[in-house]
Structure 1
Amino acid sequence: MDQSQIEFRNVSFRYQEDMPWVLRNVSFTIGADEWVAIIGHNGSGKSTIAKLMNGLLFPQEGKILVDGEEVTQDTLWEIRKRVGMVFQNPDNQFVGTTVRDDVAFGMENHGMPREVMIKRIKESLNAVGMTEFERHEPHRLSGGQKQRVAIASVLAVSPRYIILDEATAMLDPKGRKEILKTIRTVQDERELSLITITHDLQEVTQAERVIVMNGGEVWMQGTPRDIFSKKESLIEIGLDTPFVSKLADHMKDAGLELSREPLNHQELLEELWTSRSTK
């Protein structure tokens, strides 16, 4: 039986005994090769979930299983080979004097043979379009380039799951778009699962499934189309919806019939075209 998944079983967590619970009885599963976006307002527990998946934190109640193996102090190094993490600020992940050194760092920690490291450095930098920057100093790169190197560093360890914790938050729209394109390409080529913790609605629309957190609990799960069709409920818990989704609502109010909730401009145009051609 294939156990390739991350599973939260009734997980509760708080940072100190006298503090309120950040997560309460959280259960969900993320399957192999799946892209799941986890969203919620600040303080909803989504970044805590990311740290629990990677063993940076441990729950007080419940279990977290990665490919059937529980995340504990004893399994930590094995878990981190399978679950890679890219943070919001790539500067916090840089330790080497060159891009090459940085990509090698995680592999050195796992004691990989030199010939394997050399091969994976090339493959990982190529996957994110940063081969020509191998000898560059990381601090001289642009924000988008730094984030690509951070992704390459995680890829080099060859994980099954990659968590991006607000990984595009510090980028401008162009950089964000490029990173999302890189992520999509990498997922298709490497057959890995992506977990994105994000406020970026455009990023959410590209995921296959969305987990909405509210008050430390799983409030809703579904496809992006399912989730964004419940605009009023999302607004009530302090979340926004994509501009295209709002525009579609105005069109419905004006009497236009739409067959589905559009997720991007292309889908909205298709709905308008269909609506006009049927009249």
Structure 2
Amino acid sequence: MSQKRIEFKNVSFRYQENMPWVLKNVNFVIEANEWVAIIGHNGSGKSTIAKLMNGLLFPQEGEVLVNGELVNEENVWNVRKNVGMVFQNPDNQFVGTTVRDDVAFGMENQGMPRELMVERIKESLQAVGMSEFERQEPHRLSGGQKQRVAIASVLAVSPQYMILDEATAMLDPKGRKEILQTIRHLQDKRHVSLITITHDLKEVTQAERVIVMNQGEVWMEDTPRAIFAKKEKLIEIGLDTPFVTKLADEMKAAGIHVQREPLNHQELLEELWTSHSTM
């Protein structure tokens, strides 16, 4: 029985034969039920990785495997049953005249029985908090609501892995927060592996593991805390660090002891309280 994971084995990719390699000898594994954030500067290859996982592209060198199955043209539709993808602009994924029709689309393509489709539509919209909009026209929804519907559409086909390619990039802070809460809830309840391609540092801090891409190669791979502790190296390759990380540095420079790298405001407050109580 094959192990439930996504594997990149010595993967290299370029869009045309006379163009530079976008990915160069990339190796990593994403395990079942894991949340992995993939970050990097523009052109680092992170969105190309997402398309290779989903069979939208195929590598010129190396192998991409999903649950031990090679991703190629012969079995790409089997792969897409296991690997769902939510894009940056949800409007690009809408095909139905109502929210209900749109969520049903992927299941219709897979030939699911109507009874199962009705059940999945209800469950998926409920999971993302959009049940009351089932009969609504998608273009009347807000940006955050549209992205929730896009997630529900992918969720309805019950994938083991869900890729969110800059899925919060076009949202305002409120919408971004709602989507992050939604995907965290989904991972807890549905045991879905999440792969987030993102520039959003809050999104990165919530992941279990981070893969940092630089010039088409895996530059670093570790927990968010360990990654952001190397802030000088991140800045060198054009990446930012969370505000709380910068604030913690200022505290250290001012002589305030910070025991561990904080990832959010709550952890920073705890560090301040601990420092104050030992003075």
RMSD: 0.6
Conserved? CA contact 2:2–2:68, under 8 Å? no
Cross-structure match for 1:39 = 39
Q: Which amino acid aligns with 1:271?
A: E
Q: Which digits, 9 at most, give the CA deviation of each residue in 1:90-119, with x for residues without a partner?
A: 000000000000000000011111111000
C-alpha displacement of 1:2:
5.3
What is the 5 A alignment of 1:214-233? Answer: 214-233=214-233
Cross-structure match for 1:84 = 84
Q: Which digits, 9 at most, give the CA deviation of each residue in 1:41-84, with x for residues without a partner?
A: 00000000000000000000000000000001111111000000
Q: Which amino acid aligns with 1:51?
A: K
What is the 5 A alignment of 1:88-107? Answer: 88-107=88-107
CA distance in 2, matches of 1:50, 1:76: 14
The secondary structure found in structure 2 opposite 1:6 is strand
User: Which ranges in structure 1 are unaligned for 5 or more consecutive residues?
Assistant: none
Cross-structure match for 1:190 = 190
Conserved? CA contact 2:54–2:80, under 8 Å? yes
Structure 1 runs of 4+ with >3 Å offset:
none
Cross-structure match for 1:258 = 258
Cross-structure match for 1:15 = 15
Q: Which digits, 9 at most, give the CA deviation of each residue in 1:136-170, with x for residues without a partner?
A: 00000000000000000000000000000000000
The secondary structure found in structure 1 opposite 2:73 is coil
CA distance in 2, matches of 1:117, 1:74: 26
Q: Does 1:126 align with 2:126?
A: yes
User: Size of the alignment, in residue pairs?
Assistant: 279
C-alpha displacement of 1:257:
1.1
Q: Which amino acid aligns with 1:29?
A: V
Cross-structure match for 1:163 = 163
Cross-structure match for 2:213 = 213
CA distance in 1, matches of 2:111, 2:266: 47
TM-score, normalised with respect to structure 2: 0.99
CA distance in 1, matches of 2:100, 2:208: 33
Q: Which amino acid aligns with 2:141?
A: L
